[in-house]
Amino acid sequence: MNISTINFDSFQKLKDDDCQERIIKAKKTLGKDLLILGHHYQNEAVYRHADFAGDSLKLAQHVQNVEAKYIVFLGVHFMAEVSDILSRDNQITILPDLSAGCSMADMANLAKVERTYREISKVLDFDEKITPVTYINSAADLKAFCGEHQGIVCTSTNAPKILNWAFKQKEKALFFPDQNLGRWTGYKMGIPLDKMPVWDPDLPLGGLTEKQIIESKILLWKGHCAVHQMFRVESIKDFKKNYPNGNVISHPEAPFEVCKNSDLVGSTEFILRTIEKADPGSEWLVGTELNLVNRLAKEMKAEGKLVKFMSHVICECSTMARIDPQHLAWTLESLIKENPVNIIKVPQKEADLARLTLDKMLEVS
């Protein structure tokens, strides 16, 4: 193996257009050894190079059918961890920029979740009464925690199916790290809001009384997506005034009142499929990440469909946007030199436990 390294500093100075040419050339050189996976929220400057694109569930499912030696993930850290866990041992998953994280995932770490487990166990038998459910937007060690405690992983696509499964196992669920997805899913299942209290991991007993814990159906972790949290009902009202026949579609990571005032609520893939299949000339207000909405708006123009972004301020996933053409070009040229950079490798014990939950999720889905 060639142990020569390529310093990223030289790539930082490159213009985007120069990087695009080098990325295309490197992809041709690497051929079938390379597969680039891209999440829908990625910036167009790198998204255009994805061999396969999708939301978290679609990408997780696709990883299991990948033959390439190198899987380069245009996404964030937890997505690359899922790729490493589900791929074969002889495959290497790479994240072009290790600083590409997720603010929501960072709101729940293993120390806080384990402390929560101990706190709840003071009130009731956690392992007997509660199924831990972690959103796929979480670190591998939290997926492993769920694997250790008969729990499961969910996505925004399959959350209703997963919670139904969870309640068949035990009477309650601890849902983390996104309270909005958990609340909306529970609400659509007919669970009263007062049976879904918010657990604040920084407060004793999560800031709840023992009675609230005992009477709860879902304990919602105090976490959220910084992008989707920006959407407001006022934007929906303004849109409806200007477009009386227009449709509002939101991602379930949006606040409860936004979802409640939307015509449709669903995952990224649901949003894309719905608007793509909609009648020509239809009008849409979309409550999800900016890059996806802008891309969709451009694609739908040919059919006369109007696609507008819900927020009055820019809501781009800033951590996802850290993967730029410079990092991608550096990553691919390093692979040509047989010296892969930014390899994502989940410790084996952790990966084995996390895989239990991911396999269970894919089976239930």
State CA 118 to chain mean position distance.
27
Over residues 220-229, the pLDDT tens digits come to 999 998 888 8
- What domains lie within the chain, and their CATH numbers? 9-101+319-346 (3.40.50.10800), 105-224 (3.40.50), 228-309 (3.40.50.10800)
Question: Residue 75 pLDDT more than 70?
Answer: yes
- Determine the average pLDDT of the residues in 115-123: 97
Q: Is 193 exposed, middle or buried (0-12, 13-18, 19+ CB in 10 A)?
A: exposed
How crowded is residue 68: how many other Cβ atoms within 10 Å of its Cβ? 18
Question: Residue 339 pLDDT more than 70?
Answer: yes
User: Biggest alpha carbon distance in the chain?
Assistant: 63
66 to 35, 51, 87: CA distances (angstroms)? 8, 11, 8
Q: Is the pTM of this model over 0.75?
A: yes
pLDDT attached to residue 58: 85
State CA 272 to chain mean position distance.
16
Q: What's the mean per-residue pLDDT of the chain? A: 93
The helix/strand/coil state of 247 is strand
- Determine the average pLDDT of the residues in 75-91: 93
- Determine the average pLDDT of the residues in 147-164: 96
pLDDT attached to residue 313: 67
Which of 90, 34, 60 has the alpha carbon at shortest distance from 362?
Answer: 60
- Determine the average pLDDT of the residues in 308-322: 73
Over residues 198-221, the pLDDT tens digits come to 999 999 999 999 999 999 999 999
pLDDT attached to residue 3: 46
Question: Residue 37 pLDDT more than 60?
Answer: yes
Question: Residue 63 pLDDT more than 60?
Answer: yes
The helix/strand/coil state of 300 is helix
pLDDT attached to residue 298: 95
> What's the CA gap between 94 and 33, in Å, rounded?
13
The helix/strand/coil state of 77 is helix
Q: Are 33 and 72 contacting, i.e. CB atoms less than 8 angstroms apart?
A: no
